[in-house]
Chain A
Amino acid sequence: MIAGGVSLLALTLLATMNVALRIFQVPVSGTYEVVSFLGAIVTAGALGYTQKRKDHIVVDILSEKFPAPVKRVLDRVSYALILVFFSIVSWQTFVYGKRLQLTGELSETLKIAYYPFVFLVSLGFAVLALTIFLDLIETVWTREEKK
């Protein structure tokens, strides 16, 4: 979250600087790449937080009419589903980053190794999966309490 915020600021400053420098005819190469990488951190950093705030748009025209117990079961199923899915996403992004690291892939203009950024995105998804896991536990927990 904080990493996301800092990246967002850095992004703003960097792109602004680039424009300012271009007006004075001093080209800076590679900002294009850095901006993209920072952009990735901005979003990945907020993944867990957004899930926690339940900001993603849910369609509940049909499900709001279900009785509460059915709803709870369905909620658990859906949490389990997306938990598995985002664990896979996190893992696969990590695999992709690992591959970039092993093959020594460098970015086009700046020639820097950019796999750490891929790892950070993977970490973002891991945090998301963890948040979903906590939500899942919570739905199970509330049921136990009601008994």
Chain B
Amino acid sequence: MSGPIVGVYGIVVMFFILFVLRVPAAFTMALVGFVGIAQVISFEAAFSIVGTEMWNIFSSYGLTVIPLFILVGEIVHYAGYNISLYDATYKWFGHFRGGLAMTTIMASAAFSAISGSNTATAATMSAVAIPAMKEYKYHPMLNAGSVAAGATLGVLIPPSIVLVVYGLYTGQSIGKLFFGNIIPSVILTVAILGTVVWICRMHPDWGPAGPRFGWKERMKALPEAIDILVLFGIIMYALFTGVVTATEAAAVSCFLGYAICLARRKLTWKKFIDSMTDTLRISCMVFMIVAGAVIFARFLTLTRLPFATAEWIQALALPKWMVLWVILLCYIIGGCIMDALAFLLVSLPIFYPLVIQLGYDPIWFGQVITIVTTMGSIMPPIGICCYVVSGISGIPLGTVFRGSFYYMPSYIVSIIILMISPYWTVLVLSDLVK
């Protein structure tokens, strides 16, 4: 048995193991990939591929950027910057109707600028924002929904783990990907904010306005928010000039992060250890997903399934944009049933060559699929952000999912805007990077 059909069987077996046996996604991909390679070539080949591939992934210089970016986020999280960010935005925008929900989203966006993962953002913001909104009698659906939707910005706004992995996988510059990401991030953030305004107009009692603060208090809340801005600015500037690699930029920001926290006396020994262990756990998880996906992708490539699929789609002779929507639909469905990063990595060998052949820009495509996959993280059944929000806040999962459902159109609108003008939304900034 050989050829593309083995690849199809492999995918079926993978879903079986994933759903029925409850083996983690990362392990399933590696396992099925391994057995698949053994089937297509031989067991000896599979053995040696697994051994060398694991080492190659673990010791990949490019991937060292992941633990470091996670560490920056954790430092900032444990130092309590999330609270000060929330406080600062609240003093500025809290007096609008639905102001706390807007505050949540803007604070999430600000926090995302230093953290690369949506679960970290979801966890942080759930702890800070949900009690605040409860106190002001916000409707639980608006409350939980805005936290979950805001958290998805964590993946999108640089530094973004998904973009890093995409960049390494496709050989695109991470600096370019991060810069190309700025405008799409703004578009999505504004779209989500717009949704809050719209919800509050439909249901005025869901989000009562908070008290208004004087300018003096507003100014006083700013300095700590500026720390974060400076840190973000340094990372982006370093990547922009190209004098440092992404890993080095991340390392410098970790170092500065610790330095700032020490200077502001925000860091205790316990927080330091916690930030470390959390980073190790999360990076280990991400690495295993990458490793599993790489082994699985090796297997798929051996079966020639990616090429067969690409040829098949081309033979359909659909218009370019329609093919793109079919691909995006696959990502939406994939994002619903599987971890976004894992699905992205498994599907890239199939879709990436196709998209490039169609003449789309790789940097632009990276932004589009990041938005699509992050949308999956608030969609049932396994929208990871909703699970985190529900787990921390105690609001029923169903309510969280229904609340976040309001935000779906903002993702679609953002993607459409990106499709209308790839140049003005992505390339205008990414082309500036050397």
User: Most A CB atoms within 10 A — which of B61, B280, B285?
Assistant: B280
Contact of A63 with B285 in the complex, beta carbons under 8 Å: no
Q: Chain B: which residue is nearest A4 at the CB level?
A: B280
Contact of A11 with B382 in the complex, beta carbons under 8 Å: no
7 A-B pairs with the lowest CB-CB distances in the bound complex, closest first: A92-B51, A15-B251, A56-B24, A39-B64, A46-B284, A78-B21, A46-B280
**Also in contact, A19 and B248, with CB within 8 A (given A1-B280, A36-B64, A56-B288):** yes
Contact of B21 with A81 in the complex, beta carbons under 8 Å: yes
Q: Does A136 belong to the interface (CB within 8 Å)?
A: no
- Bound complex: CA of A83 vs CA of B163, how far in Å? 32
Q: Does B376 belong to the interface (CB within 8 Å)?
A: no
Q: Does A60 belong to the interface (CB within 8 Å)?
A: yes
Contact of A85 with B276 in the complex, beta carbons under 8 Å: no
- Bound complex: CA of A63 vs CA of B21, how far in Å? 7
- Which residue from A18, A77, A94 sits with its C-beta under 8 Å from B21? A77
Chain A residue contacts of B248, Cβ below 8 A:
15-16, 18-19
Q: Chain B: which residue is nearest A125 at the CB level?
A: B54
Shortest CB distance B373–A (Å): 14
Give the contacts of B252-274 with A (CB-CB under 8 A).
252, 254-255
Binding site for A on B (CB under 8 A): 17-27, 30-31, 34, 47-48, 50-52, 54-55, 58-61, 63-64, 67-68, 71, 238, 243-244, 247-248, 250-252, 254-255, 276-277, 279-285, 287-289, 337-339, 342, 381-382, 384
- Which residue from A38, A75, A85 sits with its C-beta under 8 Å from B31? A85
Given contacts A5-B277, A63-B20, 10 further A-B contacts (CB under 8 A): A11-B68, A12-B71, A15-B247, A36-B60, A40-B58, A46-B281, A57-B24, A61-B337, A78-B21, A121-B54
Chain B residue contacts of A53, Cβ below 8 A:
281
Chain A residue contacts of B288, Cβ below 8 A:
47, 50, 56
Binding site for B on A (CB under 8 A): 1, 4-5, 8-9, 11-16, 18-19, 22, 32, 35-40, 42-47, 49-50, 53, 55-63, 74-75, 77-78, 81-82, 85-86, 88-89, 92-97, 117-118, 121, 125
Chain B residue contacts of A56, Cβ below 8 A:
24-27, 285, 288
Contact of B276 with A92 in the complex, beta carbons under 8 Å: no
- Which residue from A42, A89, A118, A121 sits with its C-beta under 8 Å from B280? A42
Contact of A42 with B67 in the complex, beta carbons under 8 Å: yes
Contact of B255 with A12 in the complex, beta carbons under 8 Å: yes
- Bound complex: CA of A35 vs CA of B250, how far in Å? 13
- Which residue from A11, A57, A96 sits with its C-beta under 8 Å from B25? A57
| 20 A/B residue pairs, CB under 8 Å, sorted by A | A8-B67, A8-B279, A12-B254, A15-B247, A15-B248, A16-B255, A19-B244, A19-B248, A36-B59, A42-B280, A46-B283, A55-B284, A56-B27, A58-B23, A59-B19, A59-B25, A89-B30, A95-B51, A96-B51, A121-B55
- Which residue from B47, B63, B255, B281 sits with its C-beta under 8 Å from A49? B281
Shortest CB distance A33–B (Å): 8
Shortest CB distance A105–B (Å): 12
- Which residue from A8, A13, A81, A89 sits with its C-beta under 8 Å from B50? A89
Contact of A11 with B281 in the complex, beta carbons under 8 Å: no
Chain B residue contacts of A49, Cβ below 8 A:
277, 280-281, 284
Q: Chain B: which residue is nearest A50 at the CB level?
A: B284
- Interface class of chain B by DSSP: helix
Q: Chain A: which residue is nearest B276 at the CB level?
A: A5
Contact of A57 with B22 in the complex, beta carbons under 8 Å: no
Contact of B338 with A59 in the complex, beta carbons under 8 Å: yes
Chain A residue contacts of B381, Cβ below 8 A:
61
Shortest CB distance A80–B (Å): 10
Shortest CB distance A3–B (Å): 10
Contact of A96 with B251 in the complex, beta carbons under 8 Å: no
Chain B residue contacts of A45, Cβ below 8 A:
280
- Bound complex: CA of A37 vs CA of B58, how far in Å? 8
Contact of A88 with B59 in the complex, beta carbons under 8 Å: no
Chain B residue contacts of A5, Cβ below 8 A:
276-277, 280
Contact of B47 with A88 in the complex, beta carbons under 8 Å: yes
Chain B residue contacts of A12, Cβ below 8 A:
68, 71, 251, 254-255
Contact of A59 with B284 in the complex, beta carbons under 8 Å: no
Contact of B71 with A8 in the complex, beta carbons under 8 Å: yes
Chain A residue contacts of B21, Cβ below 8 A:
63, 74, 77-78, 81
Q: Chain A: which residue is nearest B23 at the CB level?
A: A78
Contact of A57 with B280 in the complex, beta carbons under 8 Å: no
Chain A residue contacts of B285, Cβ below 8 A:
50, 55-57
- Bound complex: CA of A55 vs CA of B339, how far in Å? 13
**Also in contact, A39 and B254, with CB within 8 A (given A49-B280, A53-B281):** no
User: Most A CB atoms within 10 A — which of B21, B276, B283, B339?
Assistant: B21
Chain A residue contacts of B34, Cβ below 8 A:
85, 88
**Also in contact, A96 and B284, with CB within 8 A (given A43-B67, A56-B26):** no
Chain A residue contacts of B18, Cβ below 8 A:
59
Contact of A93 with B51 in the complex, beta carbons under 8 Å: yes
Q: Chain A: which residue is nearest B51 at the CB level?
A: A92
- Bound complex: CA of A3 vs CA of B382, how far in Å? 34
User: Most B CB atoms within 10 A — which of A32, A39, A42?
Assistant: A39
Q: Chain B: which residue is nearest A14 at the CB level?
A: B251
Shortest CB distance A87–B (Å): 11
Shortest CB distance B388–A (Å): 11
